[in-house]
Structure 1
Amino acid sequence: MRTFLINFAAVIAGIILGSLVNMGLVWIGPHIIPPPAGLDMTTEEGLKQAIPLLKPVHFLMPFLAHAIGTLAGAILTALLAKKPLKPIAPLLIGVFFMIGGILNILILPSPLWFSMTDLVIAYLPMAWLGFYLVKKMRKPETITE
């Protein structure tokens, strides 16, 4: 039971960190790559109207927010999860954020190329990468209990 609680807390911490990283990158995105002049991207309705007018470069920061947020959450989860380190807890982070990505696509229709790239690369592969990086970082003797 103790292991479950530790792993559960690790997943919650990963979701919180991943969400903060995601929101931070989405927030600074327009400051790095400004949207076309005259578009109101502060509301859901404004975003729906603006998305068809955006160039591919404008989708870079949302993609990076999704990918880096998932990666950060998975790394934290893998670091906090009970040993022996298994991929399930970090992959739960990927699943959580992938569900969010699917809901985002349903609410704010985006170009098919972006939706597919985002769903295929930003979530489960980044969660696996987070697990893999932590596993490689730890010495073999620290991986077992």
Structure 2
Amino acid sequence: MNPVLRNTLAVIVGIIIGSIVNMSIILISGSIIPPPDGCNNTTMKGLQESMHLFEAKHFLLPFLAHAIGTFTGAVTTALLAVNHKKKLALLIGAFFLLCGIVSVSSMPSPTWFTLIDLIFAYIPTAYLALRLTCRKF
């Protein structure tokens, strides 16, 4: 298979796998740490209006979803790519970082969570993924 085509497919598959992992964790997070009483998290408006009820524990699983989703996407891409594995794994981190920026822009969250999420959940986990999957660094 053409290396450019295979690398492109590796990125696409990495984005899909990372997104599936991210959304799976988000979807089960409410059953692990229930939302606060009076919170309507079924709509974006309801979530925005009840954000002030959330405690620090409610932000743990969203952070883990972002970090683990990015990690699995970067690992998948690095394993499937023919060459430029490091660049492509970091590209996955940058893609998910962009999605994270869009997310925090559209939904209010505490400043501390926004900073921790954007600084530690995306590029560092993509870097960790490429360190674990690429022999030479």
Q: TM class, shorter-chain normalised?
A: over 0.9
Q: Counterpart of 2:21? A: 21
Partners of 2:52 and 2:97 lie apart in 1 by 23
Other-structure match for 1:4: 4
Displacement of 1:135: 1.4
Aligned equivalents of 1:51 and 1:74: distance in 2? 31
Q: State the Cα distance separating 1:76 from its structure 2 match.
A: 0.4
- Aligned ranges for residues 72-83 of structure 1 at < 5 Å? 72-83=72-83
1:38 corresponding residue in structure 2: 38
CA distance in 1, matches of 2:46, 2:81: 41
Amino acid at match of 2:104: I
Q: CA deviation at 1:86?
A: 3.5
Instruction: Give CA-to-partner distance per residue, 1:21-44, whole Å, 9 cap, x none.
Output: 000000000100001122100110
Tell whether the 8 Å contact from 2:38 to 2:50 is kept in structure 1 after alignment: no
In structure 2, distance between residues paired with 1:75 and 1:86: 9
Name the SS for the 2:50 alignment partner: helix
TM-superposed CA distance for 1:87, in Å, is 1.0
> Counterpart of 2:117?
118
* Displacement after TM superposition at 1:97 (Å): 0.6
Distance (whole Å) between structure 2 residues aligned to residue 11 and residue 45 of structure 1 = 33
Cα displacement (A) at 1:53: 1.2
Rounded Cα–Cα distance in structure 2 between residues aligned with 1:101 and 1:95? 10
Between the two proteins, the alignment pairs up a number of residues equal to 136
| Cα distance per residue 1:49-80 (max 9 Å; x no partner) | 12121000000010000000000000000000
Q: Which runs of 4+ in 1 moved over 2 A?
A: none
Shift of 1:3: 1.5
Residue 108 of structure 2 aligns to a residue in which SS? coil
The equivalent residue for 1:143 is none
With normalisation by structure 1, the TM-score equals 0.90
2-structure distance, mates of 1:7, 1:63: 28
Structure 1 CA distance for aligned equivalents of residues 26 and 35 of structure 2: 12
Q: Structure 1 vs Structure 2: percent identity of aligned residues?
A: 49
* CA offset digits 1:77-105 (Å, max 9, x no partner): 0000104x541101111111111100011
2:66 maps to 1:57: no
Q: Aligned-pair RMSD on alpha carbons? A: 1.4
Largest Rg, 1 or 2? 1
User: Any unmatched runs of 5+ in structure 1?
Assistant: 141-145
